[in-house]
Chains A and B, each alone.
Chain A
Amino acid sequence: MSEKKGKHIAIYGKGGIGKSTTTSNISAVLAESGYRVIQVGCDPKSDSTTILRGGNDLPTVLDTLREQSKVKLEDISAVGFGGVLCIEAGGPVPGVGCAGRGINAAVELLQDLKVFEEYKPDFVLYDVLGDVVCGGFAVPIRDGIAERAFVVTSSDFMAVFAANNLFKAINKYAPSGGARLGGVIANSIQAPHSRPLIDDFARQAGVPVIGYVPRSMTVAQSELYGKTVIEALPGSEQADVYRNLAKYIDESHDSVIPKALNGPELKKWARSWGDRIFEAETGVVQNMESI
């Protein structure tokens, strides 16, 4: 790694949960604050940085490696909103190869190209698919690449399940120099139970929730224009939500090793929330509780 390495942060979460949107908006805020930022999409879908680039095409690292033997930084990067350097690791043709190995090769190539030494970023954000934490997708949180990881989750059980898997991976790698967990970002907060459910899950795992991002039309609208909220609607309330998240990531250095729930614990916990939501909807109030 370089002497001026910058803060390397990995953001994980289940596919479709809004982690690219969240990451891109955080990148945009950091860039807006004057920091040099690199965002690396580590997902074979390669759409992590789309809204930072106005929806323009960007060849992925692996596509470029497939086409040419010598790869230069300018072949695989584009400068997006606020000067954010956008890179997409990409993946093999769907159905073949090993996407995890692809992430590995892409990260190795970035180190080989001395991207971090030469660009001297203040922040590098890795936006990583968190559905399957196989060895390859764990690369950003291993071997001291990212020092902190954040997980984006909604109150859907599958998103919580993916977050719990990430906790397991952090538990495994943190003792040998891997990343620690910075916290949970609660996304798509809409239903009344969303926030308490995520809070409770975070409490069980012993991790902080660093922000709540409400489900908002502002986000959908900005994305339709191929922009982040920070660029499209900088004065909106939603933009301030992302500003607060970025501020936390910038200013706080706290991190923990989470306590992942095991299979039966997670199931039991989920069932208890199923009961509470059902009771709330059917009007049962126990022990003066409200959710």
Chain B
Amino acid sequence: MSLLKSRTPRAREKRIDTLNAWLGAAESTLHQFSGKEPEQRIRAFSQSAQDDLICALRLLGGVRNSVTIVHAPRGCAAASLWRHLQTGGGRWVVTNLDQRDTIMGADRKLRQAVTSAYRRYRPEVLFIVAGPVAAINNDDIQAVVDELRDELGVPIVPVFTSGFASRSAVSGYDIALHAIMKHLVGSGGEIARNEAVNLLSGAEGVADRLEAVRLLASLGIELNVLPDAAGVENFRQAAGARLSFSLDQDADNYLGIVLEEEYDVTAIEQPRPVGLRATGRWLLAAGEALGIESAARALHERESERVRRELGDFTLEGRRVYLALSPSTAFAVAELIEELGGELAGLSVSHLGRLQTAQLESLSSRHPALQIHVADGQPFEELNIVRRIAPDLYIGDGAHLGQLSRLGVPVVSLENSSLLGYEGALSVARRISAALKNRAFTEALAVAGTPYREGWLKRSPNWHIKKEVK
């Protein structure tokens, strides 16, 4: 059965047992995945978190020469601002559904939005992203797509997010990738084969992508980079490519699966190339798959030698580091911290599913008692944990840095900064070094104290994480 037949892929918690709420030792976390399915937990109190709509908009905003129509009330489009703030790109329009539209349906409004967005921007592709209202009142998006695709002669891709159907925001990446492949490439047709290798890159910053491209291109590999900064043609080309390598096996996983199952393009999944060892493994895997192992090995030796020289005597020895990142990044950075001589103090990950079991297993064998916290958002829980552990350094993706800084712990944000490959290792080391040396700012912030009262902080960090009793 074709994966692309359904309207949307299965939500992450159903497809790969993704957990969204958990606190426990690495060993017992791993134990969760030993049985048929892990026990899902819920939060009795929750601070704001992301949803699938946000993730889908984030991914689609990166597709070159596209316009995204957010078919939702105006507030739902706020998520699209993220890309504007981050990269200044991503064109979007919101249909601004009002009271009348929720009752009567809003296909006329949608038709108008698509037509005028097309006339104004002449994009290569239009995405219609459904928000919660369209998911509830079942607005007939498909009819608008069918009608205008022929009339305007441009691909129009409906993306059926809802904001509530899945507990895992990252399901939004899968939904968007599913829609793109279903409507831009389709299934069953003849696919022309090509010599390119897909580099799957959906969640990286530009610097990281450039580093990966630099390394693979220097091995003479012809690359087709997608989904971020890719155009319609890249998606079509991807279906006939030789292989796929992914830069983030969490965000890009579903695209790899579709390419493999629908179009027979083998997906090579390696943990993220973070730090010298992991980058070496990542390059060697690429070299092995393409029969250029010795060139890959030589490149790795040359680059790592250079980085070691530049790192000099930099070490994290004696430093306890707390990480709060997306899961594939957190496990990869954990290895880098140890490579630099540091000690792991604990991990907060935004979600955790079967995609990470191998890395979890490796971590659990090294540090069975290391505490793993699963939370999307939830700065209170994170701050409470970090306050108890009192690490020497906190590395996060930027979301909670403001609050965490008020604990007086030096912080490093990996958002919008280079992390992958040899350049990434150097950049992270430099940032860590700067944060450890320049402590005056966080120390000054610590005087203000945390935004939470003592009574709250006395509660155990998993106070609000409950077993679902149904």
- Expressed in whole angstroms, the Cα–Cα distance for A134 and B5 within the complex equals 25
We find that the number of chain A residues with CB closer than 8 angstroms to chain B is 27
Among residues of B, the one whose C-beta sits closest to the C-beta of A139 is B138
Interface residues of B in 12-69 (CB under 8 A from A): 14, 37, 40
Q: Closest Cβ of chain A: how far from B431's Cβ, in Å?
A: 41
Among residues of B, the one whose C-beta sits closest to the C-beta of A65 is B470
Does the CB pair B137–A176 fall under 8 Å?
Answer: no
Does the CB pair B14–A3 fall under 8 Å?
Answer: no
**B305 on the interface (CB 8 Å rule)?**
no
Within the complex, which residue of B1, B10, B136, B146 is in contact with A3, where a contact is CB–CB below 8 Å?
B1
Does the CB pair A176–B1 fall under 8 Å?
Answer: no
Among residues of A, the one whose C-beta sits closest to the C-beta of B8 is A108
Residues of A within 8 Å of B5, CB to CB, are 1
**A175 on the interface (CB 8 Å rule)?**
yes
- Expressed in whole angstroms, the Cα–Cα distance for A221 and B37 within the complex equals 48
Residues of B within 8 Å of A172, CB to CB, are 140, 143
Residues of A within 8 Å of B151, CB to CB, are none
- Expressed in whole angstroms, the Cα–Cα distance for A104 and B138 within the complex equals 9
Does the CB pair B146–A175 fall under 8 Å?
Answer: yes
| 7 nearest CB pairs, A to B | A135-B138, A176-B143, A176-B146, A68-B470, A176-B142, A135-B137, A69-B470
**A101 on the interface (CB 8 Å rule)?**
yes
**B6 on the interface (CB 8 Å rule)?**
yes
Residues of A within 8 Å of B6, CB to CB, are 1, 111
Most A CB atoms within 10 A — which of B6, B10, B143? B143
- Expressed in whole angstroms, the Cα–Cα distance for A134 and B136 within the complex equals 10
**A173 on the interface (CB 8 Å rule)?**
yes
Q: Closest Cβ of chain A: how far from B183's Cβ, in Å?
A: 13
- Expressed in whole angstroms, the Cα–Cα distance for A11 and B244 within the complex equals 47
- Expressed in whole angstroms, the Cα–Cα distance for A2 and B6 within the complex equals 10
Among residues of B, the one whose C-beta sits closest to the C-beta of A101 is B136
- Expressed in whole angstroms, the Cα–Cα distance for A162 and B137 within the complex equals 20
Q: Closest Cβ of chain A: how far from B228's Cβ, in Å?
A: 30
Measured CB to CB, the residues of A under 8 A from B are: 1-3, 67-70, 98, 100-101, 104, 108, 111-112, 117, 134-136, 138-139, 142-143, 172-173, 175-177
Most B CB atoms within 10 A — which of A69, A98, A100? A69
Q: Closest Cβ of chain A: how far from B242's Cβ, in Å?
A: 30
Residues of A within 8 Å of B105, CB to CB, are 135
We find that the number of chain B residues with CB closer than 8 angstroms to chain A is 21
- Expressed in whole angstroms, the Cα–Cα distance for A69 and B139 within the complex equals 27
Known: A2-B1, A117-B1. A177 touches B142 (CB 8 A): yes
Residues of B within 8 Å of A68, CB to CB, are 470
Residues of B within 8 Å of A143, CB to CB, are 7, 142
Residues of B within 8 Å of A111, CB to CB, are 6
**B468 on the interface (CB 8 Å rule)?**
yes
Q: Closest Cβ of chain A: how far from B32's Cβ, in Å?
A: 15
- Expressed in whole angstroms, the Cα–Cα distance for A138 and B7 within the complex equals 16
Does the CB pair A100–B143 fall under 8 Å?
Answer: no
Within the complex, which residue of B1, B14, B137, B143 is in contact with A112, where a contact is CB–CB below 8 Å?
B14
Residues of B within 8 Å of A101, CB to CB, are 136
- Expressed in whole angstroms, the Cα–Cα distance for A172 and B470 within the complex equals 40
16 CB-based A-B contacts, threshold 8 Å: A1-B6, A69-B468, A70-B37, A100-B137, A100-B138, A108-B165, A111-B6, A112-B14, A134-B137, A134-B138, A135-B138, A135-B140, A138-B138, A139-B138, A143-B142, A176-B146
- Expressed in whole angstroms, the Cα–Cα distance for A134 and B142 within the complex equals 16
Residues of B within 8 Å of A177, CB to CB, are 142, 146
Q: Closest Cβ of chain A: how far from B465's Cβ, in Å?
A: 15
Residues of B within 8 Å of A100, CB to CB, are 136-138
- Expressed in whole angstroms, the Cα–Cα distance for A175 and B136 within the complex equals 22
Within the complex, which residue of B136, B143, B468 is in contact with A173, where a contact is CB–CB below 8 Å?
B143
Interface residues of B in 438-470 (CB under 8 A from A): 468, 470
Residues of A within 8 Å of B7, CB to CB, are 143
Does the CB pair A142–B146 fall under 8 Å?
Answer: no
- Expressed in whole angstroms, the Cα–Cα distance for A139 and B138 within the complex equals 8
Q: Closest Cβ of chain A: how far from B194's Cβ, in Å?
A: 30
Residues of A within 8 Å of B468, CB to CB, are 69
Does the CB pair A69–B138 fall under 8 Å?
Answer: no
Residues of A within 8 Å of B142, CB to CB, are 142-143, 176-177
Q: Closest Cβ of chain B: how far from A89's Cβ, in Å?
A: 15
Interface flags, B128-146, vs A, CB<8A=1, else 0: 0000000011111011011
Q: Closest Cβ of chain B: how far from A279's Cβ, in Å?
A: 40
- Expressed in whole angstroms, the Cα–Cα distance for A117 and B2 within the complex equals 13
- Expressed in whole angstroms, the Cα–Cα distance for A101 and B40 within the complex equals 24
Among residues of A, the one whose C-beta sits closest to the C-beta of B143 is A176
Among residues of B, the one whose C-beta sits closest to the C-beta of A174 is B143
Within the complex, which residue of B14, B137, B143 is in contact with A175, where a contact is CB–CB below 8 Å?
B143
Among residues of B, the one whose C-beta sits closest to the C-beta of A68 is B470
Among residues of A, the one whose C-beta sits closest to the C-beta of B107 is A172
